[in-house]
């Protein structure tokens, strides 16, 4: 065969060329008309205007391994790619961009702004796709979707209207999480609680008609301007008699009642007196409702104090107001104390702003009725969550679920299909009404709010397939089989897809969920731009090649944290180079292509061939098994071990004597070459899901039947190929070679020094074996002769290997003290092991209770150790 491969693997040269080849061949586009079983997954859609980070690289590598494996295993495989519109994030980016040019969103108007965002999206939409292609993912790009596509938007609208009609969507005035920076409501799961060190202020409130003062503890003194009561515990002896009385709210100088509320007040905390601000605190809001307290809003939607806060404060920022309030209280002697206080503060993760509880009119999904079936689906096994420990988290959240705030005060997104008329009617409809169906007025306009992006993501597994239409794709590929995503979006996305899928299609959206870990840096730190420890997938792909990056991610993929270090990638780039060079070597010795090679002639097989076929079969079993259970680490590790440490280190070395004509007749050579082709072919196919580029590049040179390795059959274990005898004998040969190499290093000989090996074979058959395969020992251990059942001359080095006595004859050489020490250590180790085995075998309980195989194993080991120690002792001069 032609030999023009470079002696160094250069990923840059081949990766992008091969990706084009795959796309042009449409290998990743499945059929909707086939009898073959299907396998389908949908991508967790990244933000359309975003950039791929290393976490995306991980989740997409794992999906691609799974998908390529299934495709090669004969499934009609669909991996549907796409992106979401990421409402807040995208709007924020475009606003910031406009701000550079001094343009303000509200001044340009809704339509113009939305148009501008679409333009931005068009500009950036290709970026994520290109990055994914660099990674080598086998998505079907002909089916790419975007959450704001017409079809998906229709699904969103249909779901909204249906849920509304079913009474599961409602609009209400309620306290929600408000982001004063983004000027929108957000849902509970978008709030990040962070432990923050703040201050606890104790403030005196004068009692009306008395000299007494009540001391109240608060972390947010500025909200006192909106206090409408103080609350004490109704059974608190200290304050019980004050209930029904009034206090003066300092600064505001307003009279408010003292109420008793057992739910709000914890007698143990602080002073046992709580200020109640129903408009600006979640639990105060509830307390206000229980006690019929008025609401007094003193903060506006931007987090500034409003007119109700008083003339001095109007327009002042909430944190500025806090300082000012404390100052005034202090001047008036009403500030009792200020203590350091650590407590949890709610932040909006997207913009790092402290969230403000705010009463506003929003749209909600009543989640509890949806949660029931979703809980049941996991409980009864219709959906399996892997690793299983995540089920507890899922149940815990689902069983204590709150209604979901789905409206956002944004412009970028699915506009809520509700219409308000001039007479106060609201209609929710799949088509835009021109007049109000209630009163007939034409003065009707659409709701200005848009939906939470996750509302559309929740429909992703079926909206992308054409639902609500019964399209061929929907019928063929829904439900999907597996979802792979990060555990951090189990509530945002996974749970909601299950709820929506069950509600609207009557089926689970996927049967298995694999939750992958979080990529961290080598110290286990979360990657973040501010720490400067982020790894850009494109950077490392450029540096090490996509295959090396993928292999690294796969082999590290177990566990909840995935510490990623560049030197690991360097290690697997070396592995890619190893694959390249081993293949390069093999290719120069393969004399036919897969198409013309014909079947392997079983009768011609020599022990080396029988052994490597047995080993590749064992590896095949292990890899398929590991992939079935999402053990990407085990699968890739098995492949690494096999390819490097069996195929390269031993097999290729063992066939060299034949390939170079030092041993064997022509028939043996032919057979050896045929099997070499076979093993290389199988290895490449086994490796392909993990390292798609390099394996395709090499496999093309083997001349397979299929036009691309992407659709070549994935190896499965074969009957009658396992060969324990061959494995045992080859492992003995390996052990002997290792023993000789050991002595060589131990005694300070060089590779040029030649030894003679004497082997004691217990019977004729084995004697014949060692004579037939003496060439392996000679070649790999650099011997000048192998003698079977001939007495070794005096002074030879004796050992026992896999039960066979061997003697190594080498030139006279003095032993250095270091060498003697090493020999002594080795002997001592064997003695210690023997002692513990003797103790075990001397224990009647052990003999009685341990399984016979274990007892037998110990006996055999005892016999070997005794023989070995005896021989090693003889070596002592």
Partner RNA sequence: GCGGGGUUAGCUCAGCGGUAGAGCAUCUGCUUUACACGCAGGAAGUCGGGGGUUCGAAUCCCUCACCCCGCACCA
How far apart CA 828 and CA 255 sit, in angstroms, is: 90
Query: Could you give the 3-state DSSP secondary structure of residue 829?
Result: helix
CA distance 416 to 428: 9
Q: Which is nearer to RNA, 237 or 750 (CB)?
A: 750
Determine if 393 is a binding residue for RNA (CB under 7 A). Answer: yes
Task: Kindly tell me which of 72 and 287 has the beta carbon lying closer to RNA.
Answer: 287
For residue 607, state whether it binds RNA (rule: CB under 7 A): no
Residue among 457, 365, 449 nearest 404 (CA): 365
| CA 511-515-520 angle, 5° bins | 165
Query: Interaction with RNA in 518-557: which residues (CB under 7 A)?
Result: 522-524, 556
Selected binder of RNA within 2, 8, 244, 665 (CB under 7 A): 8
Instruction: Estimate to the nearest angstrom the gap between the alpha carbon of 450 and the chain centroid.
Output: 30
Contact set for RNA, span 815-834 (CB under 7 A): 822, 825, 833
Q: Which is nearer to RNA, 735 or 787 (CB)?
A: 735
Cα–Cα distance list, 43 to 56, 145, 461, 501, 551 (Å): 10, 10, 9, 16, 20
How many chain residues bind RNA (CB under 7 A)?
Answer: 92
Tell me which of 31, 172, 660, 859 binds RNA, using CB under 7 A.
Answer: 660
Q: Applying CB under 7 A, which part among 40-48, 114-122, 558-566, 594-602 lies near RNA?
A: 558-566
Q: Minimum Å distance from CB 238 to RNA?
A: 12
Helices 692-699 & 666-687, crossing angle to 10 degrees?
150
- Least distance between RNA and beta carbon 629 (Å): 10
576 is a contact residue toward RNA (CB under 7 A)? yes
Segment contacting RNA (CB under 7 A): 358-366, 639-647, 668-676, 787-795? 639-647
- Rounded to the nearest whole angstrom, what is the least distance from the CB of residue 591 to RNA in the complex? 16
Question: Rg of the chain's alpha carbons, rounded to an integer?
Answer: 37
State which of residues 140, 634, 646, 678 lies at the interface with RNA (CB under 7 A). Answer: 634
Q: Which of 61, 63, 456, 577 binds RNA (CB under 7 A)?
A: 577
Question: What phi, psi does 715 have (nearest 5°)?
Answer: -60, 140
Tell me if 83 contacts RNA by CB under 7 A: no
In the complex with RNA, which residue's Cβ is closer, 116 or 744?
A: 744
Q: Are 174 and 364 in contact (CB under 8 A)?
A: yes
Site string for RNA, 337-376 (x = CB under 7 A): ------xx--------------------------------
Nearer to RNA, 42 or 616 (CB): 616
Handedness of CA 476, 482, 483, 485 (dihedral sign): negative
Dihedral sign for Cα atoms in the order 822, 824, 827, 829 = negative
Of 421 and 579, which has the nearer Cβ to RNA? 579
Binding range to RNA, per CB under 7 A, among 214-222, 302-310, 450-458, 718-726: 214-222
Q: Please state the φ and ψ torsions of residue 853, each to the nearest 5 degrees.
A: -60, -35
* 319 lies in the binding site for RNA (CB under 7 A): no
Site residues (CB under 7 A) for RNA, limited to 833-852: 833, 840, 843, 845-846, 849-851
Verify binding: residue 669, RNA, rule CB under 7 A: no
Pick the closer one to RNA by CB: 794 or 851: 851
Q: Within 737-756, which residues bind RNA (CB under 7 A)?
A: 738, 741-742, 744-746, 750-751
Smallest gap from Cβ 216 to RNA, in A, equals 6
According to CB under 7 A, which one of 21, 118, 127, 585 is a site residue for RNA? 585
Identify the residue among 108, 243, 427, 574 touching RNA (CB under 7 A).
574
Cβ-contact 258, 286 below 8 angstroms: no
**Closer to RNA at the Cβ: 94 or 224?**
224
Instruction: Kindly report the three-state secondary structure assignment for every residue of 191-230.
Output: EEEEEEEEEEEEEEEEECCCCCEEEEEECCHHHHHHCCEE
845 burial type by CB count under 10 A (0-12 exposed, 13-18 middle, 19+ buried) = exposed
Site string for RNA, 250-269 (x = CB under 7 A): ---------------xx-xx
Q: How many CA atoms lie within 13 A of 548 on its CB side?
A: 28
Which of the ranges 4-12, 47-55, 416-424, 711-719 carries the binding residues for RNA, by CB under 7 A? Answer: 4-12
d(CA 152, CA 42): 14
Tokens 């063929």 sit on residue: 476
| Residue with Cβ nearer RNA (308 or 565) | 565
Which of 170, 644 has the CB closer to RNA? 644
* Selected binder of RNA within 42, 169, 316, 582 (CB under 7 A): 582
Q: Compute the 3-state secondary structure of the chain and give helix, strand, coil in percent, each to the nearest 5.
A: 45, 20, 35
328 binds RNA (CB under 7 A): no
**Burial of 478 per CB tally in 10 Å (0-12, 13-18, 19+):** buried
Q: What is the DSSP string of 552-584?
A: HHHHT-SSSEEEE-HHHHHHHHHHHHHHHHHHH
Binding of RNA at residue 571 (CB under 7 A)? Answer: yes
**Parallel, antiparallel, or unpaired: how do β-strands 797-801 and 804-809 relate?**
antiparallel
For residue 795, the minimal CB distance to RNA (Å) is 22
Do 274 and 191 touch, CB atoms closer than 8 A?
A: no
Touching RNA, residues 215-254 (CB under 7 A): 216-220
Element (H, E) at 509: none
Q: How many whole angstroms separate alpha carbon 342 and alpha carbon 872?
A: 68
Binding segment (CB under 7 A) for RNA, from list 326-334, 370-378, 389-397, 712-720:
389-397
Q: Which of residues 440-499 bind RNA (CB under 7 A)?
A: 491
> Among 857, 834, 830, 833, which residue's Cα sits nearest to residue 846?
857
Tokens 């293949």 — which residue?
Answer: 583
């Amino acid at each position: 065969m032609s030999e023009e491969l470079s002696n160094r693997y250069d990923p840059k040269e081949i990766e992008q060329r091969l990706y084009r080849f795959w796309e042009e061949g449409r290998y990743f586009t499945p059929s909707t008309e086939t009898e073959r079983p299907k396998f389908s997954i949908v991508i967790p859609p990244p933000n359309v205007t975003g950039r791929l980070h290393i976490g995306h690289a991980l989740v997409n590598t794992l999906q691609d391994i799974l998908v390529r494996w299934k495709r090669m295993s004969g499934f009609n495989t669909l991996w549907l790619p796409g992106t979401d519109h990421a409402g807040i994030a995208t709007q924020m980016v475009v606003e910031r961009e406009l701000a550079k040019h001094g343009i303000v969103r509200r001044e340009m108007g809704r339509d113009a702004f939305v148009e501008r965002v679409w333009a931005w999206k068009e500009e950036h939409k290709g970026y994520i796709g290109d990055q994914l292609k660099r990674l080598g993912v086998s998505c079907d790009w002909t089916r790419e979707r975007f959450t704001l596509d017409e079809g998906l938007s229709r699904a969103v609208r249909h779901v909204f209207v249906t849920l509304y009609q079913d009474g599961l969507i409602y609009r209400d005035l309620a306290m929600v999480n408000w982001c004063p920076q983004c000027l929108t409501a957000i849902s509970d799961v978008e709030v990040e609680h962070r432990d923050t060190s703040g201050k606890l202020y104790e403030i005196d409130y004068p009692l009306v008609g008395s000299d007494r003062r009540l001391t109240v503890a608060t972390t947010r003194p500025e909200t006192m301007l909106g206090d409408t009561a103080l609350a004490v515990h109704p059974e608190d002896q200290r304050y019980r008699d004050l209930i029904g009385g009034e206090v003066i709210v300092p600064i505001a100088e307003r009279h408010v009642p003292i109420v008793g509320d057992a739910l709000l007040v914890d007698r143990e905390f602080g002073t046992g007196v709580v200020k109640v601000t129903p408009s600006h605190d979640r639990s105060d809001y509830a307390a206000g409702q229980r006690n019929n307290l008025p609401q007094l809003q003193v903060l506006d939607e931007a987090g500034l104090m409003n007119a109700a806060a008083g003339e001095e404060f109007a327009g002042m920022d909430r944190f500025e107001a806090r300082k000012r309030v404390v100052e005034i209280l202090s001047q008036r002697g009403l500030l009792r104390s200020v203590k350091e206080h650590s407590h949890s503060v709610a932040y909006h993760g997207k913009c790092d702003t402290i969230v403000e509880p705010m009463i506003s009119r929003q749209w909600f999904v009543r989640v509890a009725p949806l949660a029931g079936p979703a809980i049941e689906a996991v409980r009864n096994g219709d959906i399996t969550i892997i690793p299983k420990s995540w089920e507890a988290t899922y149940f815990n959240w689902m069983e204590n679920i709150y209604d979901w705030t789905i409206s956002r005060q944004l412009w970028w997104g699915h506009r809520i299909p509700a219409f308000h008329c001039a007479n106060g009617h609201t209609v929710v409809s799949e088509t835009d009404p021109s007049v109000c169906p209630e009163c007939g007025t034409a003065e009707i306009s659409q709701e200005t709010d848009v939906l939470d992006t996750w509302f559309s993501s929740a429909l992703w597994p079926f909206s992308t397939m054409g639902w609500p239409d019964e399209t061929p794709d929907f019928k063929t590929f829904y439900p999907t089989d597996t979802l792979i995503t990060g555990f951090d979006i189990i509530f945002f996305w996974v749970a909601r897809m299950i709820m929506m899928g069950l509600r609207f299609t009557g089926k689970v959206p996927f049967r298995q969920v694999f939750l992958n870990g979080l990529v961290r840096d080598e110290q286990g730190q979360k990657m973040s731009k501010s720490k400067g420890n982020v790894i850009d997938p494109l950077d490392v792909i450029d540096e090490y090649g996509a295959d090396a990056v993928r292999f690294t991610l796969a082999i590290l993929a177990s566990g909840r944290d995935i510490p990623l270090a560049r030197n690991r990638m360097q290690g697997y780039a070396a592995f890619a180079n190893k694959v390249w060079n081993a293949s390069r070597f093999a290719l120069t010795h393969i004399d036919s292509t897969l198409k013309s090679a014909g079947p392997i002639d079983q009768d011609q097989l020599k022990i080396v061939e029988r052994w490597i076929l047995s080993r590749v079969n064992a590896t095949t079993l292990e890899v398929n098994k590991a992939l079935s259970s999402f053990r990407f680490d085990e699968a890739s590790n098995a492949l690494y071990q096999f390819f490097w440490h069996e195929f390269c280190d031993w097999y290729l070395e063992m066939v060299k004597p034949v390939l170079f004509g030092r041993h064997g007749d022509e028939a043996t050579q032919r057979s050896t070459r045929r099997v070499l082709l076979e093993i290389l072919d199988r290895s490449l196919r086994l490796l392909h899901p993990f390292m798609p580029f390099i394996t395709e590049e090499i496999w093309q040179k083997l001349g397979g039947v299929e036009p691309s390795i992407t659709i070549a059959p994935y190896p499965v274990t074969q009957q009658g190929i396992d060969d324990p005898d061959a494995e045992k004998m080859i492992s003995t040969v390996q052990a002997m070679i290792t023993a000789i190499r050991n002595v060589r290093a131990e005694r300070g000989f060089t590779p040029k020094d030649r030894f003679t090996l004497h082997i004691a074979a217990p019977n004729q058959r084995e004697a014949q074996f060692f004579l037939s395969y003496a060439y392996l020992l000679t070649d790999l251990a650099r011997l000048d002769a192998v003698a079977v059942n001939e007495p070794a001359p005096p002074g030879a080095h004796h050992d026992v290997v896999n039960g066979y006595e061997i003697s190594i004859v080498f030139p006279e050489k003095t032993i250095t003290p270091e060498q003697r020490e090493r020999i002594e250590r080795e002997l001592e180790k064997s003695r210690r092991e023997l002692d513990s085995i003797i103790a075990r075998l001397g224990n009647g309980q052990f003999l009685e209770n341990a399984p016979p195989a274990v007892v037998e194993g110990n006996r055999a080991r005892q016999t070997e150790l005794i023989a070995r120690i005896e021989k090693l002792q003889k070596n002592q001069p």
